[in-house]
Amino acid sequence: MKALVFHQFGGPDVLTYEEVPTPMPQVDEVLVRTKAIGLNYADVYRRKGNYHLVGEPPYILGYEGAGVIEAVGANVTSLQVGDRIAFADVPHANAEFVAVPLDKAIPLPDAISFETAASTMLQGLTAHYLVHDSYRIQPDDVAVVHAAAGGVGQLLTQMIQRLGGQVIGLTSTVEKVATVQAHGARAYRYDEAWVEAIRNVTDGHGADVVYDSVGSTLEDSFEATRIGGTVVFYGMAGGDPTPVDPRMLMDTSKTLTGGDLWNVLTSIEERIRRSHELFSWIEDGSLVIPPPTTFALSDGASAHAFLESRKSQGKILLLP
């Protein structure tokens, strides 16, 4: 099979499209012919060597996608050849075929396309736990969303509003401000005095919750949060945060909580429940998935370069 691989850490140019052995499904796995593969910042971090990788080169990136089952392991009875599934947290997805463990295979409803599934598994499930688990959004909560024009940001904005909250989105360009506003949210750019603006529109109090995926903005996020408010830290796209002073948390009664998707996707039942809730919102139109930007899998280097350019909005998909 063909796969997007790299032999050494570095920039997008280390990625090549090569012939590699097709995986054989183990007894509790299904072999999936991929139809759409999600690209995420975690892939960039792994390509650069920021994350530990197991095994030897050539390395294959990718952890999210959707496709059709081509073969099933000996112990698999709940799925069969020809079934449409999606998956997240499955390594080596940047390939024509991927072996998916049964406990990570999510059946796809007929109304959900491969492209939609690959656009929503990681980012949609991330937004889902952020509004239900990290901080449970209540009606009339004011929530600040960092990187609000990004893939998670747009879904998170819609989910907060679906639960009755108000969103203030932060982003980097005039074009991205328009994207955030199109979802009915107030928006500010990072090169504006956004902390002051947030305080002004909340009568000086600050937001109830700030969802921070940038990292380097963490100190400002606390400044934008009301007394007794919460900051949810779930990413470092802009660099490492400065250390948080516990005395500040005590003096202001503010809460800092972390977020990680794998701490809530603890079983196949939980994966299916959360995924199918997402799918139902998409089917009834209450969650709109922005059209993805697509690249051929063979042109994965260009997709990585585009993601790192910060020009992208919404999801980037690789198509075998």
Closest CA relative to residue 65, chosen from 116, 139, 131, 136 = 116
Q: Which structural domains are found in the chain, ordered by start?
A: 2-121+264-319 (3.90.180.10), 139-258 (3.40.50.720)
Using an 8 Å Cβ cutoff, are 46 and 14 in contact? Answer: no
Region 160-166 average pLDDT: 97
Tell me: pLDDT of 151 over 90.
no
Region 236-243 average pLDDT: 88
Q: What is the Cα–Cα distance from 1 to 183, expressed in whole angstroms? A: 41
Residue 61 pLDDT class (50, 70, 90 cuts): very high
Residue 54 pLDDT class (50, 70, 90 cuts): confident
Strands 29-39 and 64-72: antiparallel
Write down the residue that tokens 């109304």 correspond to: 111
- Tell me the DSSP string of 16-56: EEEE-PPPPP-TTEEEEEEEEEEE-HHHHHHHHTSS---S-
Tokens of 238: 């802009």
Tell me: pLDDT of 312 over 80.
no
Angle (deg, nearest 10), helices 174-182 and 151-162? 30
Closest CA relative to residue 206, chosen from 252, 157, 155 = 252
Question: Across the chain, what does the average pLDDT equal?
Answer: 95
- Tell me the DSSP string of 71-83: EE-TT--S--TT-
Q: 299: exposed, middle or buried (C-beta count within 10 Å: 0-12, 13-18, 19+)?
A: middle
